[in-house]
């Protein structure tokens, strides 16, 4: 119907009168209803009171019968995760001070406050000393920002880095300055410096520029010595090359000052024989029509490794000497000083079968001995970084210099005390069917207490313990093991104070404790030894925020996957995340989203607080998320992890399939909607699992940045677990992703990779795609991220990769890939 103007005016008058009559009718009807309601309520309450009085109702279990008016809780979404809604605040403390005695330890630490860097004390709240009062500064007419600082041991000077540019995973280049706190003056150390380190004497600074090692004197403000002159793109002095940074030191330094500052040890790494790998970059500059090709020295399995030599520079004599620690394929995996003039180096053969401990005398050129040479048996030697020097002190019962190391005992990693340093028979400090994690954390030289993190309660938890050098095997608990907990810790210079970080499973908190206090906490919260001085962080805001969200329930357990070939139970750590409003009475309803990493000696099932992608999947896809640490993973002893030696991808894939079969049997699971996702080694494991399963259990897979052929990955990592291809040809053939026909039996899978990946080269995925083409397999989707490295972050790539994972899995569960 079409209305004219006058008709609309008449209609409005008629509607106005009708509205007035309707309002009067509604008022009278509502009044009557309210009268009846109030009368009924009075009768109800009287009856209820009589029933309660007579005992007909149990008031403890009685609830108001009307529905709750509590607001609907929010589900977890990508937006929450990406804007750090559920990210707990955690603080690191840069403990400072050269105190060796807990009696003089005031718990000094460096703190960033607004625009300044201040030394504070956990012991004295009033103590405050400003080292640097601004985060920007002018030098010779140019403005610089403070991006990293490191105070000298005497706190009189600061190393400042600016103009930082990222190199590889851990390394950077930058412009370094020296700031004199007393004079309030900056002096430039140099541009494009890779690494700079203070000497213990607070005077000298060692730094690396253009792969040569230099010494700078803060007393004369000059370069006092150019230690090496052969640095080049092929020769690295005091700085690791790519493979040593990524796989050996997991850091950016290869130089070590002696305790007195009289010597500096460093590695000379020669990559001349290492083959180059070219990586093309396609979208760096809009105007570039040809790709930029960057070449990286990358030793693939079985190809030449960099040769490495331990060097020692004597500052007094200004002499440099080399230590013959092995042959050109020997790996030097750890270096530390075990006295003012003794340096210890751990070395292995390239396949990590044999560990040797070399001790060199810095005062005698080239003089060294090898007191320890140990075979790994049927396993391998994992690289460690936390071996600690124990200085001689007769007054404390330490007659000679020594060190505390991590060694295997009956198949589990434990602490051992070697004193003197060249002894072959250590004192075992810990033992049992559990493991010390990464070695000692700190040593109190006043009390001889060695602090460490261990799995004594559970391999999924981490607790803090101590043991005394003179009372071996008597382990004391620092944290409360009656409660579930995953802790980390850092200690002040004299080990009197500790920053205890509770990382899960509940919302994290951090506290500073005094281990030497004669008082104790009245109520236990985390620590059972030491007095809590204050909380550095309680994450109260996060706790309150979580009340507004429906968080999918996460539970940890041990899964019994079945029996191995010897008839013994396979028991794996696992956790599951149930979707919101999970209903176990539903039949064939829930999809299952497995996530796996599974690399040798790794761990994903740890009781750490985390709300991230897995919770998004559970909330948004109404899926059960499952993570299983199968055989080969860490912290359950050598027998559990060493099974993968020379045969990667076999038992790891078996265990994922066994776990998936257990879930497929659950009545509330839709067995046709079981998928597996993994990144890096997890991407490899995803493809190997789909290959071994051939569509019987896992219907879908999502593989990101996978290794597909271990001949294509770096030598140091791969040969530790597989030996060389020349030694283990059949093992490499089995371990590569090779059965395209079996992969074709899965319903569908997704492959994603960054073309600029310097770690797991895009070559892996291209070789795999060629294999699929040759076999005529087409049941997959592919997404390439131009110029992204292994983390896939270039040009918004990280958002896209996770969006695609979620959307692709959602389509799989909706049955979009069945036709």
Which positions are catalytic? 680, 757, 790
Distance CA(81)–CA(540), nearest Å, equals: 18
In this structure, what token pair is assigned to residue 408?
Answer: 């295997």
Other beta carbons less than 10 A from residue 26's beta carbon: 10
Distance CA(522)–CA(567), nearest Å, equals: 50
Contact 713, 760 (CB under 8 A): yes
Measured CA to CA in angstroms, residue 660 lies from 56, 140, 663 at distances of: 50, 65, 5
Convert 177-230 into a string of H (helix), E (strand) and C (coil): EEEECCCCEEEEEEEEEEEEEECCCCCEEEEEECCEEEEEECCCCEEEEECCCC
Identify the residue whose tokens are 């074709």: 744
Distance CA(461)–CA(603), nearest Å, equals: 11
Convert 572-640 into a string of H (helix), E (strand) and C (coil): EEEEEECCCCCCCCCCCCEEEEEECCCCCCCCCCCCCCCCCHHHHHHHHHCCEEEEEECCCCCCCCHHH
Distance CA(371)–CA(355), nearest Å, equals: 11
Distance CA(492)–CA(639), nearest Å, equals: 37
Distance CA(119)–CA(154), nearest Å, equals: 12
**Does the CA dihedral 799-801-805-811 come out positive or negative?**
positive
β-partners of residue 297 are 276
How many residues are there in the chain? 819
Measured CA to CA in angstroms, residue 401 lies from 162, 369, 425 at distances of: 39, 16, 15
**Closest residue by Cα to residue 706 from 759, 780, 638, 637:** 759
Other beta carbons less than 10 A from residue 574's beta carbon: 21
Contact 305, 715 (CB under 8 A): yes
Cα 559–chain centre separation: 24
In this structure, what token pair is assigned to residue 127?
Answer: 């103590």
DSSP helix/strand/coil, 171: coil
Distance CA(381)–CA(645), nearest Å, equals: 12
The strand order across the sheet containing 486-491 reads: 486-491, 497-504, 509-514, 531-537
């Amino acid at each position: 119907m079409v209305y004219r103007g006058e008709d609309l005016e008449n209609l409005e008058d008629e509607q106005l009168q009708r509205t007035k009559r309707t309002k009067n009718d509604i008022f009278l009807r509502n009044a009557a209803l309210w009268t009846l309601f109030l009368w009924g309520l009075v009768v109800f309450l009287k009856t209820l009171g009589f029933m309660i009085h007579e005992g007909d109702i149990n008031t403890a279990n009685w609830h108001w019968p009307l529905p709750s008016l509590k607001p609907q809780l929010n589900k977890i979404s990508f937006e929450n995760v990406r804007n750090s809604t559920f990210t707990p605040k955690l603080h690191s403390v840069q403990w400072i001070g050269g105190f060796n005695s807990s009696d003089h330890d005031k718990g000094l630490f460096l703190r960033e406050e607004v625009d300044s860097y201040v030394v504070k004390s956990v012991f004295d709240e009033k103590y405050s000393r400003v080292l640097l009062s601004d985060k920007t500064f002018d030098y010779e007419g140019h403005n610089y920002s403070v991006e990293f600082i490191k105070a000298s041991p005497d706190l009189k000077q600061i190393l400042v880095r600016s103009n930082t540019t990222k190199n590889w995973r851990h390394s950077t280049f930058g412009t370094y300055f020296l700031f004199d706190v007393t004079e309030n003056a900056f002096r430039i150390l140099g541009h494009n410096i890779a690494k700079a380190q203070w000497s213990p004497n607070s005077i000298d600074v060692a730094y690396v520029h253009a792969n040569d090692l230099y010494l700078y004197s803060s007393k004369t403000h000059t370069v006092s010595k150019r230690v090496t002159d052969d640095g080049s793109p092929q020769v690295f002095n005091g700085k690791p090359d790519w493979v040593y940074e990524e796989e050996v030191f997991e850091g950016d330094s290869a130089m070590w000052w002696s305790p007195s500052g009289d010597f500096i040890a460093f590695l000379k790494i020669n990559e001349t024989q290492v083959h180059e790998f070219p990586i093309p970059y396609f979208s760096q500059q809009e105007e570039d029509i040809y790709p930029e090709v960057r070449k990286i020295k990358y030793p693939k399995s079985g190809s030449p490794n960099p040769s490495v030599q331990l060097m020692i520079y004597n500052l007094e004599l200004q002499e440099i000497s080399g230590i013959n620690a092995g042959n050109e394929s020997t790996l030097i995996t750890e270096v530390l000083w075990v006295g003012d003039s003794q340096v210890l180096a751990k070395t292995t053969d390239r396949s990590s079968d044999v560990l040797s401990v070399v001790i060199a005398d810095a005062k005698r050129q080239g003089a060294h001995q090898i007191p320890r040479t140990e075979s790994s048996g049927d396993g391998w030697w994992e690289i460690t970084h936390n071996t600690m020097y124990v200085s001689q002190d007769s007054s404390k019962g330490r007659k000679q210099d020594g060190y505390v190391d991590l060694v295997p005992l009956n198949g589990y990693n434990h602490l051992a005390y070697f004193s003197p340093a060249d002894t072959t028979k250590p004192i075992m400090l810990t033992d049992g069917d559990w493991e010390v994690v990464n070695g000692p954390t700190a040593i109190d030289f006043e009390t001889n207490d060695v602090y460490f993190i261990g799995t004594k309660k559970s391999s999924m938890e981490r607790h803090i313990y101590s043991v005394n050098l003179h009372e071996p095997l008597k382990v004391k608990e620092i944290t409360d093991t009656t409660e579930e907990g995953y802790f980390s810790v850092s200690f002040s210079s004299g080990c009197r104070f500790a920053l205890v970080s509770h990382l899960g499973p509940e919302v994290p908190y951090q506290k500073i404790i005094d281990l030497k206090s004669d008082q104790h906490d009245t109520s236990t919260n985390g620590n059972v030894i030491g007095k809590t001085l204050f909380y550095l962080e309680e994450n109260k805001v996060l706790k309150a925020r979580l009340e507004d969200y429906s968080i999918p329930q996460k539970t940890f357990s041990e899964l019994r996957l079945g029996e191995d070939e010897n008839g013994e139970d396979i028991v794996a750590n696992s956790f599951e995340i149930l979707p919101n409003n999970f209903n176990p009475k539903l039949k064939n309803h829930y999809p299952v989203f497995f996530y796996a990493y599974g690399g040798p000696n790794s761990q994903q099932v740890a009781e750490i607080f985390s709300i991230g992608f897995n919770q998004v999947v559970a909330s948004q896809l109404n899926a059960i998320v499952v993570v299983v640490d199968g055989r080969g993973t860490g912290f359950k002893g050598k027998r559990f992890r060493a099974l993968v030696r020379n045969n990667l991808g076999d038992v790891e894939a078996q265990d994922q399939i066994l776990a998936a079969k257990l879930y497929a049997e659950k009545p509330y699971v839709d067995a046709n909607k079981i998928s597996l996702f993994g990144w890096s080694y997890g991407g490899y494991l995803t493809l190997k699992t789909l290959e071994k399963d051939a569509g019987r259990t896992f219907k879908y897979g999502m593989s990101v940045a996978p290794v597909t052929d271990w001949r294509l990955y770096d030598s140091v990592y791969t040969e530790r677990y597989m030996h060389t291809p020349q030694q283990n040809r059949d093992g490499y053939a089995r371990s590569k992703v090779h059965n395209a026909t079996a992969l074709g039996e899965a319903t569908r899978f997704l492959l994603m990779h960054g073309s600029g990946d310097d770690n797991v080269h895009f070559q892996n995925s291209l070789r795999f795609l060629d294999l699929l083409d040759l076999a005529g397999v087409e049941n997959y989707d592919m997404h390439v991220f131009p110029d992204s490295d292994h983390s896939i972050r270039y040009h918004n790539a990280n958002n896209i990769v996770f969006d695609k994972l979620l959307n692709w899995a959602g389509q799989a569960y909706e049955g979009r890939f069945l036709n």
